[in-house]
Each structure stands twice: as C-alpha cells, then as structure tokens.
Amino acid sequence: MQGHIWHILTGEEVCKGLHVDPEKGLSDKEINRRLLEFGHNTLAVKKGVNPVFLFLGQFKDFMVMVLMIATLISGLLGEIADAVTILAIILINSVLGFIQEYKAERSMEALRTLAAPEATVLRNGDITKIPASELVPGDIVMVEAGDRIPADLRWLKAINIRVEESALTGESQPVAKTDQALEDEYLPIADRKNMGYMGTVVVNGRGIGVVVATGMATEMGIIAGMIQEVKDEETPLQRRLAQLGKYLVALCLAVCLVVVITGLLQGESFTKMFFTGVSLAVAAIPEGLPAIVTVALAIGVQRMVKRNAIIRKLPAVETLGCATVICSDKTGTLTQNEMTVRRIYCDGQIITVSGQGYDPKGDYHGADPYNDKGVLRELLKCAALCNNAVLTKRGLRVPGLFRGRSQDKVWSIDGDPTEGALLVAAAKAGLWREGLERKEQRIAEIPFTSERKMMSVIYKGKQGYKAYIKGAPDVILPLCTQELTAQGVVDLTAERRKQILFINDEMANHALRVLALAVKNVSPGEQNGQVEKNLIFVGLMGMIDPPRPSAIKAIKVCQAAGIKPVMITGDHKLTAQAIARELGILKGRNQLVVTGPELDRMTDEDLEKCVMDISVFARVAPRDKLRIVRALKKKGQIVAMTGDGVNDAPAVKEADIGVAMGQTGTDVTKEASAMIIADDNFATIVAAVEEGRGIYDNIRKFIRYLLSCNLGEVLTMFLGTLVGLPLPLLPIQILWVNLVTDGLPAMALGVDGTEPDIMKRSPREPNENVFARGLGRKILIRGSMIGVGTLLVFVLGLWYGVGLLAARTMAFTTLVFSQLFHVFDCKSEQRGIFEVGLFSNPFLVLAVMVSTLMQLSVIYLPFMQNIFKTTALVGWQWLLILAVAGGPTIIIGFLRLLRKNLRRKKHLALARR
C-alpha cells in the first residue's frame, strides 16, 4: 500500500487493498484499530523552544558578551551614561533577535490551518459528519464545490469535479478530476488526475473518494516534514561579524596589555595605567558595531516598506544583497496570473491581440473587430456568450500595512480564468455579454465536464435559437461539418481540417492554451445530444498567462548585476519554456530546461554537476524544489527563493533568503519566509537586492571608519608610551573621543545612500572576508595616519613649550577632528570627497556639526575644562590641528578627482580614434 501506486489502481482495487466496502464504509471497531495504527489526521509539530530559553539564548552571542563586559567596565569607571547606553543596545538586539526567531517557529502552526475542520464520511452504512482529525485510511469521504479536501483521496466517483491545487502543485488552472485508473506509475503529483490532496479546494462538481493517506503521510504532511527538517543557518553578515568581533577583541586586549606594561616599566603608577588600559580597551573594542548594523538594517527595512517589501527578519536584507541566484515560481510572480488571449485564427487568417491581463483595453492586429460584421465578430460573440465568468472592477487589496493609501481600481475576474480571458478578448472589441444579452436570452446550458471537454449554451433572439459552443479543438473539430467564412457558411473539407489542426499545433507549441469555438442554429425542441452535432466551425483562440512587463525589466537588471534568475514551476515544459524566453531567462544554447520526471532520474550528485546550467525547471513537485535549492547551495551559491503556494514553503525556508508573495501567498509560505513582497511583483525583489547591497556597503563604511579611528587611538597611546613620552591622552579623554566619534557620525554613516553603480557590480563572494577588496589596507593606512598625526601634534606642542596641559588638549582635539574629517572619506570606497559631495548625506553633516560643538564645549567651557583637563586653544594651534586632521582627506579627494579626469580624457581620446 505505497502512496505512489494508488493512481494506477482501479477504484475497486484501491478499496480491496484498504479492506473497505465502498457501499458501507468502515466499522467502528476497524476505525478505532486504524486510529491506533495510523494516528490522528493532523500535522505533527516539532516541539518548539521555550520562549524564555529562546530569549536567554540571545545573550550567548560573542559580541553581546563583549558588550556586557564593556558595560561592567564602564560602570566601574563611573561612566554610568556609557554603561546604560551599551546595556540598551544589548536589550534592543536581544529583543529583536527573540521576535525574529519566535516568528520562525510559527510556520507549522500556519500549515495546520489548511486542514479541513470537518469531513462528510460513510461509516457503518450511514453518512455522517466528523472532525477531519478523526479520518483514517479507508474512510469513504464525500466532497462538493467549496469543500477543502480533508486528507489524500483516490477518487471513486468524480462528477464534473475540478480542484484548485495551485497551493500544492503550482498548477495555475483548476484541475479536472477523473475516477479512472492511470497508467504511468511515476506521474508527477500535478498529473495524477484521479487523486485529491489534503488542503486543496474543490471549485466545481462533487465526488466520492477513499482516504489513502492521513496526517504526516499526506503530500501536505510530507511538506510539513520538510519544513521541520530545514535547519536555520547564520547569515553571511552574522558569520562575518562574529569573526570580526573575536579578532578585534583579542587584538585590542593584547595591545592594551602592552600599553599598561610599558607604562609601568616607565614608572607610571599602577592605578593610572590600569584605568588607562581599561579606557583604551573600551574605546578600541567596537561595541557600537551591533547597534550600527541594527540601525542600518532597520533603515533598510523602512526603505523597503516604501517599495512594497516587508522584511520579517532584519538580516534578510543583507543576505538578499549578496544573492547569486533567484529561484522564482512562474505563475503570478513572473507572470500576471491572468490568462490573456494572444492569438486568434478565423476565416483563414491569424490575428494577434495586445493588451495586459484583464484590462479590456487592447488592439487587434490584422483585423478591425469594431467594423467587422463577419467571422471575427461572430467568434468574439461566441466567446462572450458561451461563458459564465464575470468581469468586474474593484479596489486592489493589499496587506494591512498599506491600508489608508489610495488604491486604483483594477479589473478582475470572478470565475474560471480561461473563461475570463475569452470575456476580456470580446470586451476589447466592444462586445460585452451584458449588452449582448439585452438582445438574446440564455435558455439552456450544457456544462463543461472533464469527460466531454466542451461547453454549450443556447440563446433565443430575434433570429430564433442559436447554440454557442467552445471546447478542446480535438473534440470540437470532429463535430463540425461546416465553417463560417467571409463568403458565408461553407463545407468543412478534409484539407481545411488539416490546416486548422496545423494552426492549433503551432499555437500549442508557443505554449498557448487553445480553444475551438463553433455555432449552430437549433430548433426549440432539439435534444441535448443533437445540439452538439453538425456544428459550424468559427475559429480558434489561443491564450496564455503573460509575463509581467516589470519582471522582464527586473530580470535584465538581475543579469546585469550578475544574478542568475531560475524559473521553477509546476506548469508544463512548453509553457514554461515560452514564458522564460519572453522574460529573457532563456537566451543562450547552453541553458537547459529540465522537467520533474527528468529530475527524478538524476541523483543528487548529477543534479549538483549541472544545476548551474539549468535556467528552467518545469512540472516539478515540492520535494524537487527543495533538492534544487540544496544543490545550488552546495555549489556555493547564495539562493533566494520566491514562492506563494504551500508547495514552496520548504524551499523558501531552506533558501538563504525566502521571499513570499503578499497577495497570493499562503500563510505557511509567509511564515517560512524572511521577506514578503506586498505587490507580488518580481521587480520589487530587485529593489530588495539594491537595498541589501547598499546596506552591506554602509556596514563596510562604518567598519572602515570605526576601526581606522580605534586604530588611531590605540597607536597614539601605544607609540607615546613606547618612546617614553607622557601619556598623550587621559582615560576620560579617550572615553570622550569614543562617545563623540563613535556616536552620531557613525550612526549617520550607517544610513548613507547607495552608490550609483551598485547594480552593475557582480555579487560579492558569499564567504568574503569583511576586510576584502582593500578595506583592511585602507584601515591600516588611515589609522596609522590618525595615530601618527595626533602624536606629532602632541610632540610639537611640547617642543614649542606650551606645557603638558595645552599639548594634551591639542592632541585630544587633533584625534577628534581627524576622525570627523575621515568620516567623509568613508562615504565611498571608489570616489573621493569632491566626487560624492559634502551634502549628499545631510544627516552626516548635521552629526559632524553636533560633534564639533561638543568638542568645542570641552575645550572652552570652564566646568568642562575641569572635568576633561583641557585648556583653550589659540589661532596657530588650530591651524596646526586642522592641517594635520584635514590634510589627508583633502589631498586624497583631490588625487581621486584628478585620476578620474585623466581617465575620462583617455576614454575621450580613444573614442575619437
């Protein structure tokens, strides 16, 4: 009784294998026995982490422990404000981390809500309703339109039944079901037409099925198990910060120890050197790093909200910024999820139709339907009348976060998407069913069924009774004996039949779903069986779910940014291939399209070898998506996975960054994701990538600034004590520098704007060291310049005989202003101060002005002079300080501008040649 063989057995064989009489159902005794054997029909949830332990676990992080030590030291030094600030940073980070992890634990709870609360079953010969959780394999279940299927079923009777399975399989259309046995044992889930799956919804008809799997054994349960198996991993940012924190703490403590020992050897008191060493350690260790990172990420989140992206986990922005592959579902994400008629064939000519989605605005290329009184007009009239869909205009629904904004009304379809496409095509030509029905009234309908594959309606008008018929071309065409042409009704010859079938195949090869339309004049008493015979063929209409225009542009931007877009869909290969070519995902010859069955024949090793050559995966099952994501990750890729259905949830959670759709996404996928796209627009992901890259750039800017400054402070003290000078700075002055420079300027730098060329760069290596691309060299050079410059001013002050107090004040001020000038250098790694502009970040300018006023107050206010042991400075001293502090920034900026101009002239000279 293995799950993958139920669809190849007859209903009788399935019931026999499950030991159940389909006319009576199971007995109470057998039900109790099976409940003990198989358990309740519920999704098991892995025992969650206690919220208290989850919160306490936030304090195990290495940098958090460093912050706690810094808090203790600051308290011992009497710096209560500093201690309170650091403690606030610890608590904020811990609360944010706790909220993110607690939300992640709720994925399984959302999945459980998809289970049907009740089920109608046949037990002991009686029909009764029971809680769906009490279903067991072998139960006979009855469902009808509107019901959620309560367990995995094998249909015993399928009466016009169609099921919405997009959440599970990715199939964009409701699937017509059958109760007949199928032949292929290894059919993908989406093609098992005689099966019903837990959590999917019956949209039409009614049926009786026998339960073949319950709880965790269902396809939904298998997905639940996959979600539980996925382990949470640290983001690249978290790994790099942990590495950086450990390295810096060890280095700073070692240097501080050397400074203390050197001072003691030179005769300084133990108490003085101890507090100097502690102060230097507090200043040197970058305790502001987690705070700046949190602020930078939070600002990124605010920017993303304005661009229709909701970040559920702060590190997600940074992780998406280094994504190298984006795996996306086709339906509704890359496409509009709105079937649209693209081609029409009638009277021997092909007509193309333009326009987007359900908006009844568009053009017919090759015909004028407004002035056409012949075949095209009749075809569109047939499409409008042989139709039960309704075209409406309503407000766009978006998540609650965006309520209150004005929303334009959009056209939408109530009913079958295929019928909606036909209705819109007719409306584009001015043919609205409501208008047509003022002249003709529907008096009968022969509904569509999966067996008949056609639908007919009969209308009564001034000219009498007329039938309008639509259906699959291979069904409709054999029923036609005549064809409508511009010259009138003519016989349908064998040659014409071949031509029509050829056109049908051509449309199908372009991934169009093709319907044939026909008409017939009927008599009032004509029987249903006779209505659909001797039809008049009118034409073919081919439709497709078209790509989003914004997605086409977004994919170009992704490719320019070195990101590989991959389409993963449950749709057929031809459909996926055609859409991928239109989107620009498929371009070169070396790009492969692989189907689910082909994927099943591959081992994990085979998939890993070729996964980077595959751009489209079609007809895939949920476990296939998970395999794909894992194979890409094994190749060292940072994988972003977009999804909306339940089938996407395991892969979304497994991916480095999971992106859920806000409007069409299920709660399960949203809970498993790190980011939600409110407008379901693939282009919004590009904005997320840009923000992610910009935030990582800002974090690098901050690291460059902070570590250069800290290095300058350490070198000032280290070199001063090494050469036997008096202490260049007092402990309280070191702490003040730490407050003035590591506070507002650093915060403002962390929220700097993005570089203009940020989306023209290749993604950085996932395991890139935080000091990569010359950052470490820049920190060492500029830190040395700050340290040596500060010490130089201190020595010159002593040499000029201004006294130790004034010389120390000069060194103190030089150190502060060197860092305030350097913050403008850090705005860009490629461009100088004259290229980026002083005022491109007004927050930074304001922060530097505030810090400058704070430093001036320490120098010139008497009560501050007493606290910080400073004295007022005179003109020549300020000239010396500003020359040493600002000189490097101005010189570097000028040299970069000169180099840029020389490069531009060289390019112009080459262009003229």
Active site residues: 329
Residue type, 4: H
Q: How far apart are CA 380 and CA 426, in angstroms?
A: 5
Specify burial of residue 595 (Cβ count, 10 A radius: 0-12, 13-18, 19+): middle
8 A C-beta contact, residue 618 and residue 576: yes
Burial annotation 353-381 (CB, 10 A radius, 16+ → b, else e): bebebbbbebebeebebeebeebbbbbbb
Adjacent-strand bridge partners of 391: 413
* Closest listed residue to residue 474, CA positions, set 519, 506, 509, 504: 504
Residue type, 867: I
Q: How far apart are CA 570 and CA 224, in angstroms?
A: 19
Task: Measure the N-to-C terminal CA separation of the chain; round to a whole number of Å.
Answer: 77
Burial annotation 508-543 (CB, 10 A radius, 16+ → b, else e): bebbbbbbbbbbbebeeebeeeebbeebbbbbbbbb
Helix (H) or strand (E) holding 621: none
8 A C-beta contact, residue 671 and residue 230: no
Q: How far apart are CA 376 and CA 880, in angstroms?
A: 87
3-state secondary structure of 736: helix
Which pair of structure tokens corresponds to residue 498? 């071949």
Which pair of structure tokens corresponds to residue 475? 């069904």
φ/ψ of 191, rounded to 5, equals -100, 0
DSSP 406-466: ---EEEEEES-HHHHHHHHHHHHTT--HHHHTTT-EEEEEE---TTT-EEEEEEEETTEEE
* Closest listed residue to residue 424, CA positions, set 516, 344, 537: 344
Helix (H) or strand (E) holding 352: strand 349-353
Which pair of structure tokens corresponds to residue 375? 């075949």
8 A C-beta contact, residue 236 and residue 638: yes
3-state secondary structure of 653: helix
3-state secondary structure of 266: coil
Q: How far apart are CA 646 and CA 869, in angstroms?
A: 66
Helix (H) or strand (E) holding 657: strand 657-661
Q: How far apart are CA 856 and CA 846, in angstroms?
A: 15
Chain-centre distance for alpha carbon 73: 43
Adjacent-strand bridge partners of 5: none
- The CB density around residue 171, as the number of other CB atoms within 10 Å, is 23
Q: Pairing mode, if any, of strands 614-618 and 592-595? A: parallel
